[in-house]
Structure 1
Amino acid sequence: MEGKMWNLLWTLAVVVVSVSGAVEGKQVSEKENWIQRAADQVKWLPGQPPVVLNQWAGYVNVGEDVGRYLFYFLSESPKNASGKPLVLWLNGGPGCSSLGVGWALEMGPFRVRENGTGLETNTHSWVRYANVLFLETPVGVGFSYSDDPKENHSSGDSITAEDNYMFLLRWLDRFPEYKDRDLYITGESYAGHYIPQLASLIHQRNRDSEQKINLKGMMVGNPSTDQYYDSIGTIDFWLAHSMISPQTHDQFMKVCNFTNCCSPQCNEVYNYAQQVEIGGIDYYAINALACNTDQNGNPLRRRLSQAFKATTKNNPFLGFRAGYDPCVSNSPEIYFNRKDVQEALHANVSGEIPYNWTSCSMDLSWTDSATTVLPLWEELIAAGYKIWIYSGDNDAVVPVTGTIYAIESLNLPITNRWYAWYHKTQVAGRTQWYKGVTFATVRGAGHEVAVTQPGRFLALFKYFLAGTELPPDP
């Protein structure tokens, strides 16, 4: 009923403005936003189960001289949407789609069925507690694109942060009921860069901008944070989990400069560790069964290997950080390349994108990548935002060890010492609370925590929104 009432109000608003004949200034902008909002509504998705909820999808132009169009998908909570916060979700990569990974496989209201034949209800969706906005960023990712073809193949941290900030400003004009709503920015993997960079822009520009963004906090998982700590944490994790020998760990420490990686000698040790000692496992979830497809046979793994040669500057410890596990089903690629699905989403309606939709971009080169985002976290901690960082403890791509090292380097006072937290009757992970940061692990989870431990992840999200202590007993 709530959603139907909003739709009626917007329709009436469009009619009123049209009849009034207002054609200048701010009223034109409001009229255009109302019309575009109505056009963005997703009435039904092919293969959707009989679940009623309000969803919108479409483009927001974040460019000026050259059009740059970021694609979004908003899934509102089916109950009491107006009383729940707005949560922005960003997948990482750089180059991976929040639609194809976050919405379709992790915390969206539906999950794509095998072979892309349709959708099934996701009983662990975040829409239970929030209205979730999925953004494909930067241009060149998923359905997002630029009128300048070169921009679809080259990006970086700085322009991504600016475009994401502009997206929020213009999206909020299209959905003004969210302007005063609490906003939380969430994501995983390389979103460890996107989130503090975007949050810092919001924090700084809220001081002088007329249009404030009501940012309340951030939550990021298995995040790329600091090149040195992430790299050292990787080989320590490998040793602690018997993936490499003590001798190979010693060799890494002798020949690798983890701040300015990597020498031919370091690469040689790395290749030996991979081929001889670690073997054919899924780095994204080390205790899961491997997908039994080698790099040449798995198109996603091959594409990621090619794409990240340009983004990692030959640092092998960062080479896997695509933010997407190639062993996970590629069903979203089948589903989102269907013409009937694209029409329902209002995506690629005029054939603007001269390539197939992919979960992770194949040829997006990354021109600037911060070696550390720790100074930004310090700024945001000092500003008093709610900040939670979590790690799936079976992830060997951005392991829990590196994240702990990075947090510990901030020298924050501990307010609640390390303890086991529970979901239902089982230990769900461990947590430690610092002044300004809550850190939690998710037991048994890989790089995409929502894929491997959806129940525990939904519980973590609920406690994050509430800002309450993770339960210390069953």
Structure 2
Amino acid sequence: MASLLLSQTATKTSIIFLCFFLCFSNVVVALTKQQELDRITALPGQPPVGFSQFSGYVTVNEDHGRALFYWLTQSATNPDKKPLVLWLNGGPGCSSVAYGASEEIGPFRINKTGSSLYLNKYSWNKVANILFLESPAGVGFSYTNTSSDLKDSGDNRTANDALNFLIRWMSRFPQYKYRDFYISGESYAGHYVPQLANKIFDYNKGLSQPIINLKGFIVGNAVTDSKYDNIGTVAFWWSHAMISDKTYKNILNSCNFTSDKFSKKCDDIVDYAMNHEFGDIDQYSIYTPTCKVAQNSTLIRVKNTLIHRRFSGYDPCTENYAEKYYNRPDVQKALHANTTGIPYKWTACSEVLIKNWKDSEFSILPTYRKLMAAGLRIWVFSGDTDSVVPVTATRFSLSHLNLKIKTQWYPWYSGGQVGGWTEVYDGLTFATVRGAGHEVPLFQPRRAFILFQSFLAGKELPRS
């Protein structure tokens, strides 16, 4: 009898184990062939993790051979129930792998030698599935077989290609169709993010059940309106003692911020300010040390937006670590990247794209008005030590939306300290992040994480 009971118990145990095995196997088998090809087993030097990763290419234009590179880091818990968030870096021409994934919101950080990775305690994939996209073609591992594409990129094509990417990517990953979807990014993604949201909104019109279930977007230190951004930027320089009273007055008197092109006199005054009055500072984070490795400075203008893109990074040198790591053949193989043999080195930013940007929308404010009327959740945040797209620029631009205040300006908190300040309007939430530079999650990772959590939850930032 005891032997029979033991046998029955063993049989039940075997059935339970078999059921568990088959259920687990179904999860694995449920991956399509292409998903399996895109699955990352592990990156070189990567610590063990409990979430899945995928990366690879999606062709967005067959005629020109344009293909965009993506990297998906699924949520660490319940990925099938968490929203999908697309992250875009700006430039225009800078990599979401170099910045967003590797020094801001991604699960890993790169060590100084570029030999291994370590975990980011405040990775955004703790609460969402994060999809990093290198966009447009020519950025990072994304490529085009038509060389002229590198010389005539612009806002409109970038948005169209990103929309095509999402449609085709969701065909590859149908489990994300109809999932709550958000777009996020920073800097020149202040153009990319609302413009892509606008394309999705128009694409979804007339569809009974849109596969791209866009719920909203969140952008940081975002290029918004050429006129108001520039006035606010010069005000930041003066109010933070970066330029003299004389230079401040000369810029205001000589620069026509309503024009698509600056005069030589305006150029000369701004060049003087940057080269003789700013000093050797990190313009993206004016109170932190600069990187002393390979400091190459280039002044670049995107239409009439003042941009000073320095091809070195944070830590203050983290960008250099990314360039070491992602140029390793074993890393590229693990990422399924550079499969066509791109004839140039992977770089954090493409100087060719930045210098040859063709169409740049003068103001994104009309797009904000349209998408607020559509009921999207929209948050805009600013690190308050950035002098490139500073908090004064964003506040001045948003003020011209003339929005009704729902919740008056108040300090929000993180870890018992003021994390920044916020005001909630009818249709939009604005927040500052105290002590953060241009890349908010790099300088204030905990505060940025709380900000992101609150955005996803649709809740106001904590008051205590």
Normalised by the length of structure 1, the TM-score is 0.88
Equivalent residues of 1:92, 1:323 under 8 A apart: no
Residues 8 and 155 (structure 1), Cα distance of their counterparts in 2 relative to 1, 3 Å cut = farther
Residue in structure 2 matched with residue 148 of structure 1 by the alignment = 146
Partner of 1:388: 379
Report the counterpart of residue 333 of structure 1 in structure 2. Answer: 323
In structure 1, how many angstroms separate the alpha carbons of the residues matched to 2:106 and 2:459? Answer: 24
Q: Distance in 1 between matches of 2:448 and 2:340?
A: 38
User: Greater CA deviation, 50-59 or 441-450?
Assistant: 50-59
My pick for the range that moved more, 388-397 or 321-330, is 321-330
Q: CA deviation at 1:324?
A: 8.0
Amino acid at match of 1:69: A
Offset, 1:325 = 4.4
Task: Tell me how many residue pairs correspond in the alignment.
Answer: 438
- Using a 3 Å threshold, how does the CA distance of structure 1 residues 430 and 207 change in structure 2: closer, same or farther? same
Which residue number corresponds to residue 225 of structure 1? 224
Instruction: Spell out the pairing of 1:313-324 with structure 2 (5 A cutoff).
Output: 313=303, 315=304, 318-320=306-308
Task: From the superposition, tell whether residues 335 and 153 of structure 1 become closer, same or farther in structure 2 (CA, over 3 Å).
Answer: farther
- 1:50 aligns with one of 48, 64, 74: 48
Partner Cα distance (2:283, 2:360) in 1: 23
Q: Alignment partner of 2:302: what SS?
A: coil
Deviation of 1:241 (Å): 0.8
Between the aligned partners of 2:136 and 2:23, the Cα distance in structure 1 is 30
Instruction: State whether structure 2 residue 409 is matched by structure 1 residue 418.
Output: yes
2:272 aligns with 272
- The question of whether the paired residues in 2 share the 8 Å contact of 1:390 and 1:440 is answered with yes
Query: Following superposition of structure 1 onto structure 2, how do residues 158-237 of structure 1 map, counting pairs within 5 Å?
Result: 158-209=156-207, 211-237=210-236
Are the structure 2 counterparts of residues 325 and 434 from structure 1 closer, same or farther at C-alpha, using a change threshold of 3 Å?
farther
Percent sequence identity over matched residues? 50
Instruction: Tell me the distance in 2 between the aligned counterparts of 1:9 and 1:68.
Output: 34
Q: Does the CA contact (< 8 Å) of 1:93 and 1:323 recur in 2? A: no
Q: Is the 8 A contact 1:189 1:323 kept in 2?
A: no
**Mapped partners of 1:155, 1:130: distance in 2:** 31
Q: Distance in 2 between matches of 1:53 and 1:319?
A: 37
Aligned partner of residue 253 in structure 1, secondary structure:
helix
Give 1:78's aligned amino acid.
A
The 1:321–1:209 alpha-carbon spacing in structure 2 relative to 1, beyond 3 Å, is farther
Partner of 1:9: 26
Q: Does the Cα contact within 8 Å between 1:392 and 1:441 map onto a contact in 2?
A: yes
* Alignment match, 1:374: 365
**Which deviations, in whole Å up to 9, do the C-alpha atoms of 1:286-331 show, x marking residues without a partner?**
11112245xxx42xx44xx2xx74x524x4x522268984653211
Aligned pair partner of 2:125 in 127, 130, 133: 127
Change (3 A) 1:445 1:11: closer
Q: Which residue of 2 aligns with 1:312?
A: 302
- SS in structure 2 at match of 1:160: helix
* C-alpha distance 6-40 of structure 1, shift in aligned 2 (>3 A): farther
Write the distance in 2 (CA, Å) between the matches of 1:6 and 1:462. Answer: 32
CA RMSD of aligned residues (A): 2.0
Q: 1:144 & 1:9 partners in 2: Cα distance?
A: 33
SS of residue paired to 1:115 = coil
Instruction: Report how far residue 209 of structure 1 moved.
Output: 4.4
**Cα offsets for 1:21-63 (capped at 9, x unmatched):** xxxxxxxxxxxxx221110000010000122320000001111
1:419-474 alpha-carbon deviations (Å, 9 max, x no partner): 1111011001000111000000000000001111111111111111111111122x
Take 1:13 and 1:328, find their aligned partners in 2: how far apart are those partners? 41
Which AA in structure 2 matches 1:279? Answer: G
Letter of the 2:265 partner, please give it. Answer: Q
1:432 aligns with 2:423: yes
Change (3 A) 1:116 1:6: farther
Structure 2 partner of 1:262: 262
User: Does the 8 Å CA contact 2:76/2:127 hold for their aligned counterparts?
Assistant: no
Q: Where does the alignment leave 5 or more consecutive residues of structure 2 unmatched?
A: 1-20
Any conservation in 2 of the 1:84–1:130 contact (CA below 8 Å)? yes
Aligned partner of 1:63: which letter?
Answer: N
- What amino acid is the match of 1:467? G
- The offset of 1:279, in angstroms, is 1.3
Q: Distance in 1 between matches of 2:67 and 2:207?
A: 23
- Equivalent residue letter for 1:356: K
User: Which residue number corresponds to residue 16 of structure 2?
Assistant: none
1:276 positional shift: 2.9
Cα distance between partner residues in 2 of 1:107 and 1:128:
10
Separation (CA, whole Å) in 1 of partners of 2:122 and 2:448:
8
Write the letter of the residue equivalent to 1:376: T
Q: What's the counterpart of residue 445 of structure 2?
A: 454
Question: Which structure is larger by alpha-carbon Rg, 1 or 2?
Answer: 2
Equivalent pair of 2:179/2:212 in contact (CA under 8 Å): no
Counterpart among 325, 338, 346 of residue 357 in structure 1:
346
Verify the 8 A CA contact 1:325 1:448 in the aligned structure 2.
Answer: no
- In structure 1, the residue matched to 2:8 is none
How far apart are the structure 2 equivalents of 1:319 and 1:420? 30
DSSP-derived class of the 2:241 partner:
coil
Partners of 1:312 and 1:350 lie apart in 2 by: 30
- Letter of the 2:322 partner, please give it: P
Deviation, structure 1 residue 184:
0.5
Distance 1:63 1:90 in 2: 19
Conservation of the 8 A alpha-carbon contact between 1:10 and 1:38: no
1:150-188: per-residue Cα shift (whole Å, max 9, x none)?
224431100000000010001111111111210010000
Partner of 2:352, secondary structure, is: coil
Which stretch shows the higher mean deviation, 447-456 or 204-213?
204-213
State the one-letter code of the partner of 2:350. Answer: S
Q: CA deviation at 1:392?
A: 0.2
Deviation of residue 274 (structure 1)?
Answer: 2.0
User: Partner residue of 1:404?
Assistant: 395
Amino acid at match of 1:200: N
| Unpaired runs of at least 5, structure 1 | 15-33
